[in-house]
Amino acid sequence: MIAVSTALLQQVISIPAARAVLRPRSRLAASVSSPRQLSVSSSSRAPQVDPNVLLGMSEQELQKLAVDLGQESYRGKQLHHLIYKRKVKEIDNFVQLPQAFRYDLQEAGWTVGRLPIYRTVTAADGTVKLLIKLDDNRLIETVGIPAEDKKGSKRLTACVSSQVGCPLRCSFCATGKGGFSRNLKRHEIIEQVLAIEDIFKHRVTNVVFMGMGEPMLNLKSVLEAHRCLNEDVQIGQRMITISTVGVPNTIKKLASHKLQSTLAVSLHAPNQKLRESIVPSAKSYPLAAIMKDCRDYFVETSRRVSFEYALLAGVNDQVEHAVELAKLLREWGRGHHVNLIPFNPIEGSDYQRPYKKAVLAFADALESREITVSIRQTRGLDASAACGQLRNEFQKSPLSVEANTLQSESDIAVAC
Ligand code: SF4
């Protein structure tokens, strides 16, 4: 959902892939501690937690692992420090740990789980898009967006993907057009944040689950990653936003976790009929049901829900739509916030970007009805990669990777 324009790209830097060496699991691995196994959601085609991956484990779990391998529990604390503070990527480089412990970890098949950055693309305003290579040779994309507020304090936002592709096929979305491969595992989500910190040499201050995929279809991994990002990487819950286009029963489920994070719901239309034409999956989740779930989310968490609205010229960008939207939001509560996203045209789509005048008129109509509004600014990379646009560019013109490392063009999957 972060939009990127290749026209505005300044440079392309290729970073050699430092491939993690996966050691076969020894018999010892079966007899010693293994990370918690999480159940697999119906939409997943792979386990959500890789066995024997350290990234994503809590300090307590790492302490237990150390003890299971015959070490004092404080060795687990050291492991935690090395993974999340020092960001050491290979067990071989855990030089603060006894060699025997490192050896036992490796013998048992453990890896840190860090992934190589395949390529970075930097825009004039400093926004960076990263391609990260997964162990199955798929590429996912994440975006780092630096910003400075009026007081001069720096913010670094990571826009992360939760799936490789997306099954929901929203009509304006390039990712939706590209199909769905699989859910991301928790360490693959966490990796995106750590990789941005590596590139910027700066801590990530905000995380938005607005990249490729529908986070609610991979809720288990998203929640695991959220826990780790909050407790281990130490990003405040209020600095994390989980975005959804709406999947029945999942907002309730998320609310039950009582996170202090923001829920962003992609509405894109003020009524059910228009919404179904833009978001086909809306058929199974009527607008009234979403709005009720959002109201309940607010009651449960005291966190205001933010509503995303992609403005499509001549489709949903008229003042009458804004009036209807204001009415809908006010029916279901107070203090709603709407984030307007002027559409960035994608190839193969009939939708057009709205005129600035229409965007401002839409925003005015909401504000005059006491709905707070922000209009997403087009940043350097914003102009052409609203969710999957960049992937489509790369799919037409595949990255020049080693022939034996990517299976086929269809295996190149990049988020936005
Ligand atoms: S907009 Fe989001 S939910 Fe819709 S198809 Fe794109 S990635 Fe999936």
Across the beta sheet with 372-375, the strand order is 9-14, 117-123, 128-133, 139-148, 154-159, 206-209, 240-244, 262-266, 306-311, 337-342, 372-375
Residue of 177, 216, 245 best suited for mutating to test ligand 1, as the one with most atoms within 8 Å of CB: 245
Q: Is 387 left (phi over 0), alpha (psi -120 to 50) or beta?
A: left
Whether the Cβ atoms of residue 381 and residue 121 lie closer than 8 Å to each other? yes
Residue of 1, 162, 166, 283 best suited for mutating to test ligand 1, as the one with most atoms within 8 Å of CB: 166
175 CA → ligand 1 middle, Å: 6
Give me the pLDDT at residue 380, please.
53
Which has the closest alpha carbon to 185: 129, 118, 140? 140
The pLDDT tens digits for 101-138 are 999 999 999 999 999 999 999 988 899 999 999 999 99
Owner of token pair 């045209």: 345
Cβ(132) – ligand 1 distance below 6 Å: no
The pLDDT tens digits for 143-188 are 999 998 888 889 999 999 999 989 999 998 878 887 899 999 999 9
The secondary structure of residue 397, as a DSSP letter, is S
Cβ(385) – ligand 1 distance below 6 Å: no
The secondary structure of residue 406, as a DSSP letter, is -
44 CA → ligand 1 middle, Å: 16
Strands 372-375 and 117-123: unpaired
Task: Give residue 222's identity as a one-letter amino acid code.
Answer: V
Whether the Cβ atoms of residue 2 and residue 386 lie closer than 8 Å to each other? yes
Whether the Cβ atoms of residue 357 and residue 324 lie closer than 8 Å to each other? no
Task: Give residue 92's identity as a one-letter amino acid code.
Answer: D
The secondary structure of residue 386, as a DSSP letter, is S
Please confirm, yes or no, whether 141 is among the known catalytic residues: yes
Whether the Cβ atoms of residue 341 and residue 309 lie closer than 8 Å to each other? yes
78 CA → ligand 1 middle, Å: 39
Cβ(214) – ligand 1 distance below 6 Å: yes
The continuous run of DSSP H or E covering 289 comes out as: helix 287-301
368 CA → ligand 1 middle, Å: 30
Q: Is 398 strand, coil or helix?
A: coil
Cβ(176) – ligand 1 distance below 6 Å: yes
Q: Which of 173, 294, 387, 416 is catalytic?
A: 387
Please confirm, yes or no, whether 402 is among the known catalytic residues: no
89 CA → ligand 1 middle, Å: 32
pLDDT in tens, the chain (416 residues): 433 333 323 332 232 322 222 333 333 333 334 333 323 343 444 455 677 999 999 999 999 999 999 999 999 999 999 999 999 999 999 999 999 999 999 999 999 999 999 999 998 889 999 999 999 999 898 999 999 888 888 999 999 999 998 999 999 887 888 789 999 999 999 999 999 999 999 999 999 999 999 999 999 999 999 999 999 999 999 999 999 999 999 999 999 999 999 999 999 999 999 999 999 999 999 999 999 999 999 999 999 899 999 999 999 999 999 999 999 999 998 768 999 999 988 777 889 999 999 999 999 999 999 999 999 876 655 534 444 454 544 533 333 333 333 333 333 333 33
Give me the pLDDT at residue 52, please.
93
How far apart (Å, rounded) are the C-alpha atoms in residues 204 and 155? 7
Other Cβ atoms closer than 10 A to 397: 9
Q: Is 270 strand, coil or helix?
A: coil
Cβ(170) – ligand 1 distance below 6 Å: yes
Give me the pLDDT at residue 92, please.
97
